[in-house]
Structure formats: C-alpha cells, structure tokens
Amino acid sequence: MVGQELNKKLSNKGFTLIELLIAMIITLIVMLGLLKGILEYNKFSIRAKMKDRATEIARQFTAYIESLPSQDESILYANNSSWNSVECSATSCNFFETETEFYNIGSPTPSNPIGNLSSNLRLYPSADNPDAQCNCRGSNCPNTLPVCTYEGFSGKRIYVGLNVVKFSQTGKAASVMVWYFEPFTNEFKIITNLVIKG
C-alpha cells in the first residue's frame, strides 16, 4: 500500500506530454526570434560595411582628383560644351544651384547598375567587374585611367563617375559621384563630393 502511494506521488511529479510540447514550442519560438534578430543584425552590418566602403572610395577618388594639376586637360576636361566656360563672380556661382545635371549620374537600375548613365559624365564605369577601369568621354582622354568599379559586399559593386566644369576666370570644379545599390534592399545610394581647383 505504501509503495503504491509513493509511486502515485512520484508519477504526479513528472511532466505530461502536452506540457513538454508547449515548452518545446515556446523554446522554438524564442530560438526563431533570436535567429531572426541575428540575421537582421548581419544584414544591417553588411549594409553599414557597404556604406563605409563607398565613403572610403569617394574619399580616395576625391583625393586623386585633388592631386591632379588644375591645368590637366586629360581628366579635368568639361565633357558638356556648355560647362566649358561658365561665368561666376568672385563671391558666388549660381551654376551649382541651377545645373542639377552636374550632380546627376543618370538612371541606373539594380539589374543594370552602369546602364542609362548621363552623357555628361567625363569618367564612368567601363564594366560591371571589380577593378574595371573608367571609360572616358570627350576629347583629350588619357591612356591610363583610374578604376571606376569596386567590389562591395553580398555580390554588389560600387561605382564612380565624374563630371567637370570649367570656369572662365577661376579654374575648374569636379563632381565625384559614388553610387551603389544597397545589399538586401536594392535601394539606390549615392555619395557626391565637390572638388574646386583654382
């Protein structure tokens, strides 16, 4: 009798099959939530790395343009003929507000990231392969051109384009444009730096 009561008390202390299933479902939901959080953080991290890489490329390309002598006509040549002798005063220049095409690369798409580019670009990507050199549009193109296509992350690339304007009295300006399509979202991103050469 005592043994049966003891067995009854011990069997009441265990978990039922339903309780175990509920505990497993709760654990599974928590694990799936944690996994989703880890995956979202990974995507965020890759997008941040892509932005950092594009920012560094923009900085390096801008430094390259700054290092060129302002009388250099090989790269610092205004491809758009109306930008070849722009009038500006000593204190202001309306060109930068009115000529929005100076900051425009065209209308690339995620499926064709170097297609539909503006015909104003002096330098633009020649191919969608990492380390592809720039193409040069217009006269006086140099024999050696810089790289315009860079490796990004998650199979995406980073691209560089350049517009140039020549001022009548003061020198030249170059618009360095770096663009990419964000990994996972395909959202178009662009970084533009302005270089003024005296």
pLDDT computed for residue 13 by the predictor? 64
136, 72 in Cβ contact below 8 A? no
pTM of the model: 0.84
User: What is the structure's pLDDT at 94?
Assistant: 83
Summarised one tens digit per residue, pLDDT across range 3-40 is 566 455 555 666 788 888 998 999 999 999 999 999 99
Q: What is the pLDDT of residue 8?
A: 57
The percent of residues above 70 in pLDDT, for the chain, comes to 92
pLDDT (tens digit per residue) in 78-115: 888 888 888 877 777 788 888 889 999 999 999 999 99
Q: Which residue has the tokens 């011990």?
A: 10
Q: Give, rounded to a whole angstrom, the gap between the first and last alpha carbons of the chain.
A: 106
| Helix, coil or strand: residue 121 | coil
Supply the pLDDT for residue 29. 94
CA atoms within 13 Å, Cβ hemisphere of 191: 20
The gap from C-alpha 175 to its chain's centroid, in whole angstroms, comes to: 16
Residue 156: pLDDT band with limits 50, 70, 90: very high
pLDDT in tens, 33-81: 999 999 999 999 999 999 999 999 999 999 999 998 877 778 888 888 8
Which candidate, 109, 108, 103, places its Cα nearest to that of 121?
103
